[in-house]
Structure 1
Amino acid sequence: MHTVSEVLWLDDYTQDAMPILVAVGNRQPDEPMYSDVETTTPAPERGTGVAHGTENEGEADLFSSDLIHWITPGHLFKLSCNMTNDDSTNFTLDWFRDDEKLESNDHIKIITANSSLIINDPTKDDSGIYRCQTRAGIPKDNPLVKNFTVIYFTIRKMTKSIVVTDQEELSLECPVDGKPFPKIVWRKDSVSLLEMKANDSRINFATNENEVPNAKLIISKVDPNDRGNYTCNVTTPFGSYEVFTYVRVKDIYAALWPFLGILVEVLLLGIIIFIFEKRRAKAEFEESDTDQGNDQKNTDHHKDSVRQRK
């Protein structure tokens, strides 16, 4: 028998949900496979995933493969582990996370009455391998065990496009976080950058701000050929998701051309003003000489008139 979990993408603003069915565990021959369910889903614009699972009760699934659950901060998280014997008497259980026994406290509540574990506001540190187990010697010498794989995962959209100058360094960060760490694969125009790295020493990978391996892509001294669509493909136990951005490479002298254009305009304007001022000064000087010549002629004529009267 298998368990079907319904994964809901919750948007921080609209609270719209998109259900995705994920089959977990072993399948019986007479049960459907959900073969039409897509395993690759586009990442949400905002928000994180939260898994709401249905548990099968009884001994039938006590030894099935791990049940996978997805926690997210701000959402109540619950695990149920009902185990009964032949006369339907509940066993007393202990809870463990990564082999460390858990006790009820302000953060974790263990409800003995219905054999459940509740975390009101889970954090990244609450992920791990959970185990419910009957106490030693019950029943007989073989304790009943049920395992749950609890993961933490968040992802965001990348910037739609980015502009980088020729010969500068390109740094792209995949906005993803998870525990355990998801697997990251970078692609440029559908070609694996890991394969391209073998022939291009400029390409390197590093951890992002959340310490996720290979979640940061670094290309030193980009050139026009680096222009294109870059995709970060993320693989988790729930499926694969991808986010992407478009990279544009700007000419190293692109910012210089507008400056040179402005400089030429200023020089031309200066030359025009200089020529205009020079011509105006020359015209004023010639006009001044003409006025002085006329004044001199008038003076001589006046002197001649005085002599004639004498």
Structure 2
Amino acid sequence: MLIFFVSQFLLGFVLASSDNNEVIFAQLDGKVQMECEGEGELFWRTKSNQSATEYMDLPAEGNEIDDNTLILTKLSEDQLGVYSCFDAEDNIVKSFTIEVRYKIKKMPASVFVNKGSATLPGEIVCTTVGHHDVIFRWYSRPEGSEPDSELTQICGSNGGEFNCNNDSEPPQLSEIKETEVAPAPAPFLERVSVVTTKENTGYTSELKIDNAQMEDRAVYVCRAIARESENDLDMDCEESPNCEEVYTLLRIKDPLAAIWPFLGIVAEVVILCLVIFFCERRRKQEEDKEEIDEDGYAGNNISSNNSLRQRK
């Protein structure tokens, strides 16, 4: 009987604590509002987590207080934690735990790949930190477009199963016959694949592109969406805490691109040499012609002098 009363007391304490503490899943760089209802003047304090014993005063920047509402204007990682409002007698009226379900690592600003080659392992990778179950969706948008531009969905990974928005499966290597003429590149969706794995610290989704072509140059966007929101296709990642988004620019390089400037320099040198050669040849011909004219004029003078002497 004693054990029963103790268990009921502990259960009631846990329920009361959970009612007094509200967990808010927020998004980094987003706005967070915490409203505390109480009588009289209330003031706010914060601590790093629930296990911490001491509260600290709010920092001077990054927050606003409107009546009894605390607003974090732009949530950062160092602002995650517990926020509590106190009454005049220094009693906790209500607490808020600010958390993020998961975080997503940034991808490099750009990735380079040679035309006709495949992206290297680990180049276009989307990684989450946290054990919250997520799904990945991959999109693309034109280079130079704004981040809020319309996206074209490429593929989505659902429970480890690869799902592209094309109906046909990519051909197997055994089905491709060797021909003397090189075949045209396969459509993009037949050259792309997504591999999703679960790691100790979260989930990883890698986008792979085979036989990259110049038209594949674009911005590739990865969205990590909380499993409970997978059916929300119109989700705005800038506002929803159930969505994180990163992107990278894929640049396609022509392996022969470095040869063209060299060939241009060689062509300029050859043309310059030809111009110099013909100019020198023409100058030499003119000099030879002048020498012939001078020799002829001298011969005429000698013959005229001889004829004058004979007359005398």
TM value normalised by structure 2: 0.45
Which structure shows the higher helix fraction?
A: 2
TM value normalised by structure 1: 0.45
Greater RCO between the two (CA within 8 Å, min separation 6)? 2
